Amino acid sequence: MKTTTEPINAQPGNTDFEVRSLDTICINESRKQHPWWYNFKYMAVGVLFGVVFVKAEVISWFRIQEMFRLQSFHMYGVIGTAVVVGIISVWLIKKFNIKTIHGEKIEFHPKKFNKGQIYGGLIFGLGWALTGACPGPLFAQVGTGALVVIVVLLSAIAGTWTYGYFREKLPH
Amino acid sequence: MLQALQQPWPWYVAGALIGLIVPALLILGNKHFGISANLRHACAACFPAGIKFFQYDWKKEIWNFFFVGGILAGAILTTHLIPDPHPVQINAALARELAGYGITDRSSLLPRELFSWSSLFTLRGLIMLVGGGFLVGFGTRYAGGCTSGHAIMGLSDLQWPSLVATVMFMAGGFIMANLLLPFILHL
């Protein structure tokens, strides 16, 4: 197992770290290099997530419509409980300085406010109520056999690409 | 036991398990919970087209593809091993409203009248599936994250920009579901 100590944006010509720290929540914090099959542990977490998505009907178009019509508490209960459990977990990790299973320090990055969170958030909300899905549920919807959602997924990738293309011209 | 697993799970069970994904990913490898970045990685891997936003080492983020691969597999397993034999239970007012648009099939989590290949070739289906998907992809990246990255991970870390994003997600959803969607469903 090889451990590199230089920051992940240290490679010459790689400037994406500062770009990405502003607008993506998926920065890879790990400086350690692992064999590719270590990634199966994330797949295992994903499987659990997929099961919960389907069994709690979080991926149901009907449930999303109920939520936005204030006709059911279910989705508010799911999101609210998840946030409370998440807040307690993150607080415990910080308080007791809990490390990863590989002994690394767990890092958090403050997010910067920009107008994208307003405009983009609104645009995503419109799409959420139309499709009944956010990006995660899209994959679960396909898994339940609704294969036409592959088209929704490809369209979402096209939307992301279009954002990347016009990014410099959009207000942030 | 099997019957309890087959029934729709209550919100507090689902919410707690989803919340635990946050520390699970952090402790397994310092990964911040988030899914919409996958759409960006897909662009970076397949069609970077010289766009700066897509020029980064997407292979470093490959864990994210494994994660959604797991979501897909989990959904397939659940659908085949512990399916809910009953139709989806929804609020009576919503059922009445949807019946007015010809949407009555509740045998699966997504109404077949809207989520099918034949629907895709109608104006209504095209707007909802292709248009909706585009808004999801464009909006999440513009906002810098989706419900998992902002509403769950961001709020767990008490990030106020994530609260702004989450409030706007909800605002967009309320506007679409109550003001715009009735017109689209009438098409």
Shortest Cα distance from A18 to chain B (angstroms)?
A: 11
Mean pLDDT calculated for residue range A24-48: 77
In terms of Cα–Cα distance, which of A42, A69, A12 is closest to B26? A42
Shortest Cα distance from A95 to chain B (angstroms)?
A: 13
Q: Do A160 and B137 touch (CB under 8 A)?
A: yes
Same domain as B183, residue B134? yes
pLDDT at A32 over 70: no
pLDDT at A10 over 60: no
- % of chain B surpassing 90 pLDDT: 90
Question: Residue A20: its pLDDT value, please?
Answer: 46
- Give me A143's structure tokens: 């898994």
Same domain as B118, residue B60? no
Best of B5, B9, B30 to mutate (most A CBs within 10 Å, chain A):
B30
Same domain as B68, residue B24? yes
Look at residue B88 and tell me if it is in a domain. no
Q: Do A46 and B68 touch (CB under 8 A)?
A: yes
Total beta-carbon pairs less than 8 A apart between chain A and chain B: 547
Mean pLDDT calculated for residue range A33-47: 91
Question: Residue A109: its pLDDT value, please?
Answer: 85
- What are the tens digits of pLDDT across the range A83-129? 999 999 999 999 999 999 999 999 898 888 999 999 999 999 999 99
Same domain as B131, residue B69? no
Look at residue B8 and tell me if it is in a domain. yes
Q: What is the pTM of this model?
A: 0.90
Same domain as B119, residue B50? no
d(Cα B167, Cα A45) in Å, to the nearest integer? Answer: 27
- Chunk chain B into consecutive blocks of 10 residues (it has 187) and report each block's average pLDDT, rounded to whole numbers: 88 96 95 92 93 88 94 96 92 96 94 95 96 97 93 94 96 97 94
pLDDT at A18 over 70: no
- Give me B169's structure tokens: 């997600």
Question: Residue A30: its pLDDT value, please?
Answer: 54
Look at residue B100 and tell me if it is in a domain. no
Query: Which amino acid belongs to residue A80?
Result: G
Q: Do A152 and B66 touch (CB under 8 A)?
A: no
CB under 8 Å to B119, separation ≥6 — which residues?
A148, B113, B125, B129
pLDDT at A17 over 70: no
Same domain as B128, residue B60? no
Q: Looking at the complex, does the CB of residue B122 fall below 8 Å from at least one CB of chain A?
A: no
What is the domain extent for residue B54?
A: 1-83
Question: How many domains does the structure of chain B reveal?
Answer: 2
Q: Looking at the complex, does the CB of residue B100 fall below 8 Å from at least one CB of chain A?
A: no
Shortest Cα distance from A91 to chain B (angstroms)?
A: 8
Look at residue B94 and tell me if it is in a domain. no
Q: Do B159 and A65 touch (CB under 8 A)?
A: no
Same domain as B77, residue B3? yes
Query: Per-residue confidence at A21, pLDDT binned at 50, 70, 90?
Result: very low
Question: Residue A29: its pLDDT value, please?
Answer: 52
Q: Do A160 and B94 touch (CB under 8 A)?
A: no
Look at residue B95 and tell me if it is in a domain. no
Same domain as B7, residue B79? yes
Q: Do A56 and B71 touch (CB under 8 A)?
A: no
- What are the tens digits of pLDDT across the range A139-159? 999 999 999 999 999 999 999
